[in-house]
Structure 1
């Protein structure tokens, strides 16, 4: 994930570039004694989850992640599974907000409450007559 998470998040394209960079590092290891072993790689809505087969692979990944630069400003870090951010996923109904865009709805939430919505992400929007239902990732 980006070091600046949740202020900075990864797009699918960024995650694909990271995956390619990690695989290139695996190729570089082919003649070495240590061979990293992964069991899974999943793209989440804002970061990647890579499951390592063993602790040595996890430590190897922690060491290379900050060094890879799939794009010029990439600044990545690896966290253990217990430290993976788990944002709340909420389905929220907004009456009479069908004409408002997502940014306006989030600004209204912030304007009416003592809540910062800058790090919230709209995962899905469902129109219901002149209302809106948003599926939100809330940190």
Structure 2
């Protein structure tokens, strides 16, 4: 089934891109709204998609639009193994979505214009998490 709706296409584009990246160690991706059961003591990535609206690019109501939002990719790591390795993977995520990245989707392009930001460690025993926040932008034509 084809993905429809701007936010749906953006989410699908970002998830396909993330799933296609290679990380060391290799990690599965828990996608938003998709059943996922983590394996004990096996790190993984957890993605959260946060669209933050759109705005008209011109004065007219039928102007082109710019959609903006966040993708938060959290490196989820077993607790008790230190913070260095999860921060190393977070750096890999940041590089995968570095400023200037353009990701082609189904009729649109997701633009990453700012360097992703790595947050502080989140303690959620038996896991820890290191969030990486990625700001995205997509321009669409009027009526799309």
RCO comparison, higher one (Cα < 8 Å, 6+): 2
TM-score by length of 2: 0.26
Structure with a larger share of its residues in helix: 1
Structure with a larger share of its residues in strand: 2
TM-score by length of 1: 0.27
Question: Between Structure 1 and Structure 2, whose CA radius of gyration is higher?
Answer: 1
